[in-house]
Chain A
Amino acid sequence: MEKFDAIVVGAGPSGNAAAYTLAKAGLKVLQIERGEYPGSKNVQGAILYSDALERIIPDFRDDAPLERHIVEQRMWVLDDESYVGSTYRSAEFNREPYNRYTIIRAQFDKWFSKKVQDAGALLICETTISDLILDGNRVIGVQADREGGAIYADIVILADGVNSLLAKKAGFHPELDAKDVALAVKEIHFLPQETIESRFNIGEDEGVVIEMVGKITKGMMGTGFLYTNKESITLGVGCMLSDFKQQKTTPYALLEEMKAHPAIKPLIAGGEMKEYTGHLIPEGGYKAIPKIYGDGWLMVGDAAMFVNAVHREGSNLAMTSGRLAAETVIALKEQGKFMTEANLALYREKLDESFLMKDLKKYKEMPGILHKSPQFFTTYPELINKAAHSMLTVDGVDKKTKEREIRRNFVGKRSLFGLMGDAFKMWRAFE
């Protein structure tokens, strides 16, 4: 019977980072993906953060399918018919090496997977792992959904994404809580390259990111986004499942209303919609991180809740955790140590030392605060827009009176005490 040094379940960014790093070190690696090809099941906005990938494939820019590097970031706070926004654009973002790119996941995952296979890992697609094979509490292999599908390895790396059925079936994890996951829906609209460049005031290869909060989520805790690709625009909206459950708007109705917003509609006008996707994002943060290693197994990426929702980072945490898991396995192998839970604690140490856990720890109070503060998604966007409207409308009312009116509005909708409390909570969470 064939036995591998490591089996990696999943060929998203976390699994690819793990399999690549292990194969490069000369380990015998089997990677299994349920999709027809890597990426065929995966969804992202998508912004790629260079740093995490650079640490794995330093020269990725040579041939990775990158759409546009980001030169401008917009933040919009939307009311029903208006928005107040800020824009940050810098010539520095136009100097190589670029820090962020838009990507299209199906293409990117395929490219990454080719690198993994070139490094020597064996990839099997169109195969769903139905169970982990356990010896007591120890994972010794995986069961594939085909005849004679038992495969064994010293270590199994679970890179199976937000719906990690394997960890649940093995009893390692309970079911996800609706308050810890967001559901995002998005579409891709194709437009001529020149149209995108003139609409967004950008040159060839340059890209714009728009992040949005406000009325588009109808009071739910969530955000919207719009990103420019080379010849397409992706836009979408995501809200916490616990909030989705409490109301009556479908995710696709929410997306339709967002697309009809007077600030957004002209940006996608004339485009051809070619795909509609939906996917969960694990946003529970530090406090929701489940068990991530045990005898014979390690967990990486979305399955481990490694997403920094405040900064919309996920794929970079996926790649970083994949790499650190692989480096843990390589180190133990070199020292001739077994893949026991005690020895694999090294993975947690490596994570704790990295930006990944430090950032998740820093924002650990954020999900809780936002769940308890719907005003950040409803009242404030409305008030801010009303204030802007008032100050910018020339109607014979003096500015001092307008200011007084605005202040009255803020305090009226939310007590002065509430406003101060909110400011303090936000300050504590970011501190």
Chain B
Amino acid sequence: MIKVENKLFQNRYKVDAGHPHISIKNPDICQNDCKSMACTVCCPAGCYTEEGNGKIVLITDGCLECGTCRIICSEHRNVDWEYPRGGYGILFKFG
């Protein structure tokens, strides 16, 4: 298993503690209705994890702000996606 954490560790972030910029609208939909759970595979920062019982946990601290999770959740449109507040979030040194 490749640990994405080791990669994210190299990045700089200014975390907006207590203000996640992405949230799951209705957790029940993830747990009961979503077959693909594509967010757990496609997120390049591994922000979405499935807890084993179908429950999805989203932790946005390592988010690269790419937009993937919003677009691939097209069957259920269950992701509420905003940019972080100005100045917060990922801070690319090189890009």
Contacts and interface: CB of A to CB of B under 8 A. Distances in A.
Interface of A: 34-36, 39-44, 46, 104-107, 109, 125-128, 130, 144-146, 162-163, 165, 175-178, 181, 183, 185, 187-188, 232, 234, 241, 244-245, 247-253, 256, 273-280
A244 B72 contact: yes
B94 A252 contact: no
B84 A128 contact: yes
Contact of B4 (A41, A248, A252): A252
Contacts of B59: none
B91 A36 contact: yes
A274 B66 CA distance: 19
B85 to A, nearest CB: 6
Contacts of A232: 94
Contact of B94 (A146, A175, A178, A188): A188
Given A41-B90, A127-B86, A276-B8, A241 B42 contact: yes
Interface string B35-52: 010100111111000000
A250 B5 CA distance: 13
Residue among B4, B46, B68, B92 with most chain A CB within 10 A: B92
Contacts of A241: 42, 68, 71-72
B31 to A, nearest CB: 19
Contact of B71 (A128, A145, A176): A176
Contacts of A250: 2, 4, 41-44, 46
A183 B64 CA distance: 12
A104 to B, nearest CB: 5
Interface in B8-22: 8, 10-11, 14
Contacts of A178: 71-72, 74
A30 to B, nearest CB: 14
Chain B facing A: main interface SS: loop
A250 B86 CA distance: 29
Nearest to B1: A253
Contacts of A234: 94
B33 interface: no
B65 interface: yes
20 contacts: A34-B83, A36-B87, A42-B92, A43-B95, A105-B92, A126-B86, A144-B86, A163-B65, A163-B83, A244-B38, A244-B72, A245-B36, A245-B38, A248-B41, A250-B4, A250-B43, A251-B44, A252-B2, A275-B93, A280-B68
A165 B94 contact: no
Contact of B67 (A35, A162, A177, A245): A162
A180 B48 CA distance: 23
Nearest to A279: B66
Most chain B CB neighbours (cut-off 10 Å) among A36, A234, A244, A252 = A252
A143 to B, nearest CB: 12
B87 A187 contact: no
Given A39-B95, A188-B94, A245-B38, A125 B87 contact: yes
Nearest to B87: A126
- Which of B65, B67, B84, B85 has its CB near the most chain A CB atoms (within 10 A)? B67
A183 B42 contact: yes
Contacts of B65: 41, 163
A163 B63 CA distance: 15
Q: Which 5 A-B pairs have the closest CB atoms?
A: A126-B87, A278-B44, A105-B95, A276-B7, A127-B86
